Amino acid sequence: MKNILVLCTGNSCRSQIAEGYLRHFVGDKANVYSAGIETHGVNPRAIAIMKEDGIDIAAHTSNHVDEYMNIDFDLILTVCDNAKENCPYFPSKAKRFHYNFPDPAKANGSEEEIMAEFRRVREMIKNYCSEFIATHL
């Protein structure tokens, strides 16, 4: 069984959304983990917009990448430039992939405008994850 790691800066939004979709699309064909180079807690807005799409990430935790140093990953996906540039060295044969998604947590405006940005980024991540699984698993 393959092991997939999704990395982001704080493991609060983008990587959590990607973990939720990757788990959904991959089923029992792989183990999916997410982590950050820091931990910021799972963003409540990320939980809310995923619930809108039928995926429950409420039980997810914000994990530091160091927690997974002993897992032999097959695929590592960074979802922001900061994580790609600051990711610690993984002594593995893992194939690395990168896509710099916008950070919805940095959205400004009314609550409605902020949630619209979270939904926009969610759809970008959902489409990417669907294609990623179809191509790499």
Backbone angles phi, psi at 73, to 5 degrees: -80, 145
How many whole angstroms separate alpha carbon 97 and alpha carbon 57? 23
DSSP letters for 46-107 = HHHHHHHTT---TT----BGGGGTTS--SEEEE-SHHHHHHPPP--S--EEEE-----GGG-
Give the span between the Cα atoms of 132 and 128, in whole angstroms.
Answer: 6
> What span, in angstroms and rounded, lies between the C-alpha atoms of 106 and 127?
21
Residues marked as catalytic:
8, 80, 87
CA-based nearest residue to 122, from 1, 5, 19? 19
